[in-house]
Amino acid sequence: MPEDRVMPDRVMVESRVLTDDRDRVPSSDAGPAWWRSAAIYQIYVRSFADANGDGIGDLAGIRSRLPYLRDLGVDALWLTPWYVSPMADAGYDVADYRDIDPIFGDLAEAEALISDAHAYGLRLIVDIVPNHCSDRHPWFQAALASPTAPERGRFWFLPGRGDDGSLPPNDWRSYFGGPAWTRVDDGSWYLHMFAPEQPDLNWEDSAVRAEFEDILRFWLDRGVDGFRIDVAHGLMKAAGLPDVGADPDPADLPYQDRPEVHEIYRSWRRVLDSYDGDRVFVGEVWLPTPAQFIEYLRPDELHSAFNFEFLCAPWEPAALRAVIDDTVAKHAVVAAPPTWVLSNHDTIRHTTRYGRDDTAFDMGNKRHGAPSDLELGTRRARAAALLTLALPGGVYIYQGDELGLAEVEDIPVGLLQDPTWARSGGTDRGRDGCRVPLPWSGDAAPFGFSPGADARPWLPQPAEWKCATVEVQAADGESMLALYRRALRWRRALHAQCGPDLEWLELGAAALAFRRGGFACVVNFGPDSIRLPAPDEVVLASDVVTDGRLPADSAAWLRIPQ
């Protein structure tokens, strides 16, 4: 190989001499709290690993893959809901918050998973779903059984409008499509901002508040390191449940971001802080303005929240720079760490998005099936990995990001499971395309996801995933997995050695470049290669650096003089 070509393999050797604290056990030693710079890996439980061969991921499967997660180099795991559920919305419809769904395992298995994860130096965050429960939850069943049951007050039951009450109580629409109200046998209606199987809880009822604080304690007592809060902005509703009207202000909707919601999190924070260790709340806060968003991250509320503004941004330098600046500035106001995320179980995998003409993500218009150049998308996804892992703060990695998986866009409609498909009247394929079970090994489905060759994963895996398995990528020093492993290892040293500040370097309109102390990250958005500032000091690159030049659609990390 010519001297002036910097290949990632050389970089890997180099990175071994950096601080290696990978085998540490969680502790709350002095120094910045772990969550301020954590790499948190999202496990979509149904699709991560299936131990018993029924085609659905389970807790025993996760336990068996903990060495993989340790070797990947992440700090913590966030697991999507594992509770007892009829699975009308893949577990986001909880029937018993204190037990594990038998599809996934049992409470003893969950406790074993928590303690195994800790033994591997991985923290574990569980999903809590407080906005709604399942229609099979005992409270809702009791509420349905009698209009005078006290459980009715824990939901939103109202009479309908019109002479015979046959019209919904207001004009709210479900996020999954259709009206947000369903009528029951006695003629009244109940509110569900998601599927009808997910009745919204009434957080003005003190029993609801007491119950959830008790649920938090139940899991904190079992050693979890924190909670990802589902629909954190949605719990309170405006008094009187007024109509939204024809042209609502998205920043002032009666069903989200009501000011009273913050008191709930202050109260939860007191519960969390009464436990030992650094435990955390991570909010799913989708709101239109930064001013609304940061209120959730005040010092006595949540620790962290997903940066959806970054996830939604197009793959363009000016747009990304603006989001990064905005993110850093708004988090500084409340002294919370910024976070970065490219994909999750509700979006379109970014390898696919970045190969499209329009690379932005819009929850309301996911553009399923829009043409995508996956080779280009993969190059950009590699660069995006280095960009997000270099930025100050925390990062969320969705399972399969590290394999560069693309959205699966050809699942036969008869196999689609996401309620979005039916509720949108077959116009929105929903989120199944990013939830297909992971490929671990072998040449054919189930690709080691389930034991044995005959198991049928709950969603079909594409045949071409035989080239994307963990087995194949672990043996290839140029793979996406190899890149993530090196970058995550490097990132530990980076965060230990560099402060939270970021300084932009000006390398032309097609590049994004910044430094943190003696470290720099350069991303080239193309179309031409660019000259790197310190080409001999490249420590990691998403593509081959030749003659000191970084190719289009790639990124490099370098050491630079301070």
Catalytic positions, please? Answer: 230, 284
Name the residue whose CB lies closest to Ca ion. 58
Nearer residue to Ca ion within complex by CB, 54 or 326: 54
Q: Is 129 in the site for ligand GLC (CB under 6 A)?
A: yes
Q: Under the criterion CB under 6 A, does residue 230 sit at the interface with ligand GLC?
A: yes
Regarding 306 and contact with ligand GLC (CB under 6 A), the answer is no
Residue 346 interacts with ligand GLC (CB under 6 A)?
A: yes
Of 50 and 428, which has the nearer Cβ to Ca ion?
50
- Do 504 and 317 touch, CB atoms closer than 8 A? no
543 near ligand GLC, rule: CB under 6 A: no
- Which of the choices ligand GLC, Ca ion, none does residue 151 contact, using the CB cut-off of 5 to 8 A by kind? none
Tell me if 56 contacts Ca ion by CB under 5 A.
yes
Q: Report, in Å, the least distance between residue 49 CB and Ca ion.
A: 9
The size of the interface with ligand GLC (CB under 6 A), counted in residues, is: 9
Instruction: Name the binder of 54 from ligand GLC, Ca ion, none, CB < 5-8 A by kind.
Output: Ca ion
Instruction: Residue 52: name its binding partner from ligand GLC, Ca ion, none (Cβ under 5 to 8 Å by kind).
Output: Ca ion
The answer to whether residue 301 forms part of the interface with ligand GLC (CB under 6 A) is no
Compute the distance between CA of residue 82 and CA of residue 71 in angstroms, rounded to an integer: 24
Residue 101 in the binding site for Ca ion (CB under 5 A): no
Among 26, 35, 41, 58, binds Ca ion (CB under 5 A): 58
Check residue 75 for interaction with ligand GLC (CB under 6 A).
Answer: no
Does 125 bind ligand GLC (CB under 6 A)? Our answer is no
Angle (CA) 38-43-48 rounded to 5° is: 140
Which candidate, 489, 470, 352, places its Cα nearest to that of 403?
A: 470
Phi, psi (rounded to 5 degrees) for 267: -70, -45
Q: Cα–Cα distance between 340 and 462 in angstroms, integer?
A: 28
What x-and-dash track marks residues 165-204 binding ligand GLC by CB under 6 A? -----------------------------x----------
Q: Is 89 in the site for ligand GLC (CB under 6 A)?
A: yes
Give the end-to-end CA distance of the chain in Å, rounded to a whole number: 31
Note whether 83 binds ligand GLC by CB under 6 A: no
In whole angstroms, the minimum distance from the beta carbon of 528 to ligand GLC comes to 40
Question: Bridge partners of 125?
Answer: 78, 226
Position 231 contacts ligand GLC (CB under 6 A): yes
d(CA 143, CA 156): 10
Which tokens hold the place of 321? 């720079």
Residue 295 token pair: 């209120």
If you write DSSP's letter for every residue of 507-551 in order, what string do you get? --TTEEEEEETTEEEEEE-SSS-EE-SSGGGEEEESS-BBTTEEP
Instruction: Give me the DSSP letters along 186-223.
Output: TS-EEE-SS-TTSPBB-TTSHHHHHHHHHHHHHHHHTT
Residues that bind Ca ion (CB under 5 A): 50, 52, 54, 56, 58
